[in-house]
Amino acid sequence: MQRFEVGKLYSCSEYFLLLFPDKDTAEAADRAAEAAADAAVAAAYWTRELARKLGKPVSYCNPLTPLLVLSVNEKYVEVLAGDKKGWIINQGWLEIKEISCT
């Protein structure tokens, strides 16, 4: 599992990341489905399906969207992704990398 530091920037170059409105919703979605979205169609489908099942809005961000880490709680990471704020599920296979600003 990727280690994140609060205040650092990261990006995921290969996958659309689902953004959950809170950590509890991310945990519920993590248990409900393995949402490995590697295309916009799959991400759009899962945002609708999980929002319907969980009763809360779920969105996603595009690959290479900078992710500013706001907080870390075990495998759930609160991020600011462009103009969206939400929680991602930290899956090791996502290959999220730190952005170097030097």
Segment 78-83 mean pLDDT: 93
Give the pLDDT confidence score for residue 63 in this predicted structure: 82
Q: CA 86, CA 59: separation in Å to the nearest integer?
A: 8
Question: Which amino acid makes up residue 39?
Answer: A
pLDDT digits (tens, 9 = 90+) for 39-75: 567 777 888 888 898 899 888 888 889 999 999 998 9
pLDDT digits (tens, 9 = 90+) for 11-31: 888 777 888 999 988 888 876
DSSP character at residue 54: H
Contact 54, 29 (CB under 8 A): yes
